[in-house]
Amino acid sequence: MPNASRRKARPLPSAPPAEQRAPRRPAPPPVVVEEVREPSRIPAVGVVGVVGTIAVLGALLLLRPSGAGGADALGGRPGPTKVILGPPAPGGIGLAGAAGTTDGDPVQTPYGTVQVRITVAGGRITDIVALALPDGDRRTRRISQIAGPMLHDEALTAQSANINTISGATYTSGGYIRSLQSALDKAGR
């Protein structure tokens, strides 16, 4: 290639003379940021409320029996919780010599009717049959399927209507207890 194809380098524009330049501005002073912390002003009512809540929770934890309701020790699902209504009647149910079956009164609850039939032999309850338990919808039927056998076992063990109420089946438990008591009252006559 011939040298003619080479282009000459253009000179770079030179900086304007110092007289033509804009005056230099002085650099701004460095910004100093001071962090000002005001003392915390938590209302006294809030402190009292928090302390009071902690005290109540602590007292409840101290008063809770070790095996009462809630989740099992391994963190599984919580089981039904029993609420103790009172001590079971001592001995039998006061039906000395009574025998046969007796139906309790039907008890209406917000979720349906509860009625039981008891069988008594030798002054003791030998069997309890739930003639009616609430079954309005699927959830109610499921609660009745769980609570019915628990209430049955409690009543047979206690030999009275003085049994524990099943948490989550409060209305069913109350109806069961009232129907059972009416059957016991009828059998005792």
pLDDT tens-digit readout, 88-103: 444 445 555 567 899 9
Q: 3 lies in a domain?
A: no
Residue bearing tokens 């699902």? 77
Q: Which helix (H) or strand (E) holds 131?
A: strand 124-132
Q: What is the rounded distance in angstroms from the CA atom of residue 117 to the CA atom of residue 79?
A: 27
Grade residue 122 by pLDDT with cuts at 50, 70 and 90: confident
Spatial CA neighbour of 107 closest among 35, 43, 175, 170: 175
Q: 158 lies in a domain?
A: yes
Tokens of 3: 């040298």
* Average pLDDT over every residue of 116-135: 92
Distances in Å between the alpha carbon of 175 and those of 28, 31, 148, 169? 84, 77, 11, 10
Q: Which domain holds residue 140?
A: 104-188
pLDDT tens-digit readout, 14-56: 656 655 666 677 777 777 666 666 655 555 556 666 777 777 6
Phi, psi of 102 (to 5 degrees): -140, 135
Q: 162 lies in a domain?
A: yes
Tokens of 163: 């049994």
> What pLDDT does 41 receive?
58
User: What pTM value is reported for the model?
Assistant: 0.52
- Name the domain count of the chain: 1
Q: 82 lies in a domain?
A: no
Are the C-beta atoms of residues 170 and 164 closer than 8 Å to each other? no
Q: 76 lies in a domain?
A: no
Spatial CA neighbour of 95 closest among 176, 180, 16, 17: 180
Q: 91 lies in a domain?
A: no
Q: 77 lies in a domain?
A: no
Q: 55 lies in a domain?
A: no
Grade residue 154 by pLDDT with cuts at 50, 70 and 90: very high
Spatial CA neighbour of 154 closest among 145, 163, 146: 163
- N-terminal to C-terminal alpha carbon distance within the chain: 133
Q: Which CATH number goes with the domain that contains 139?
A: 3.90.1010.20
